[in-house]
Amino acid sequence: MTDNPSVDRYLKDKAMDHIDHALGRPIWPLKKSYRNYFAIDTRSDLANSFRASPHWRFTGSAGQMAFFSVTEAGRHALQSHLASLHAPTKAFTVAYGGQTAIVPAATPSRARYSRWLAISDCCPDLTFAEFLRDATVRLAA
């Protein structure tokens, strides 16, 4: 179980999508995520806009590639943007069979179903109805 799982999402705001991508699309942008980098052509317009933005820090280059990481200001901007979305993804803890997992989803029902899908390959005899009886879902802190 990861402390800050990734979410399968695409953000229409390209600036926020780049920040989200660089961080690995975490459920909680302010927490440490499994990555924090963005590689881009050194001479591109996007690299120049990253250099001018308070949301990015230039961390080095190799050949034609420039590397950037997201600053704390960028993380806060992403969190504000995600909170403003119509149906933001939330983190739920789903417990089943003595194991607990953090599952990003829009609703508790979707979190429960997503967790069942994740374990159903390993437990082919487990029906969704059986899973529903024994699984618990709570909003993660």
pLDDT in tens, 27-36: 999 999 999 9
Q: Can you give the residue range of the structural domain that contains 103?
A: 90-139
Please check whether residues 22 and 59 belong to one and the same domain.
yes
Are 21 and 42 within one domain?
yes
Last residue of a domain, one of 59, 84, 109: 84
- DSSP structure string for 28-91: STTS--S---EEEETTSHHHHHHHH-TTEEEEEEETTEEEEEE-HHHHHHHHHHHHHSSS--EE
- Answer yes or no: are the C-beta atoms of 16 and 84 closer than 8 Å: no
Tell whether the model's pLDDT for residue 2 goes beyond 60.
Answer: no
Residue with tokens 């990253």: 50
Q: How far apart are CA 127 and CA 129, in angstroms?
A: 5
Asked if residue 47 and residue 27 are part of one domain, the reply reads yes
Q: What is the pTM of this model?
A: 0.76
Instruction: Give the mean model confidence (pLDDT) for residues 45-69.
Output: 97
Pick the most confident of 51-55, 116-120, 136-140: 51-55
Say what the pLDDT of residue 1 is. 42
Between 125 and 1, residue with greater pLDDT:
125
Mean pLDDT for all residues in the chain: 93
Closest to 92 (Cα-Cα) out of 41, 52, 135? 135
Average pLDDT value for residue range 44-54: 97
Instruction: Give the pLDDT mean for 116-125.
Output: 92
105 and 121 inside one domain: yes
- State the average pLDDT over residues 16-31: 95
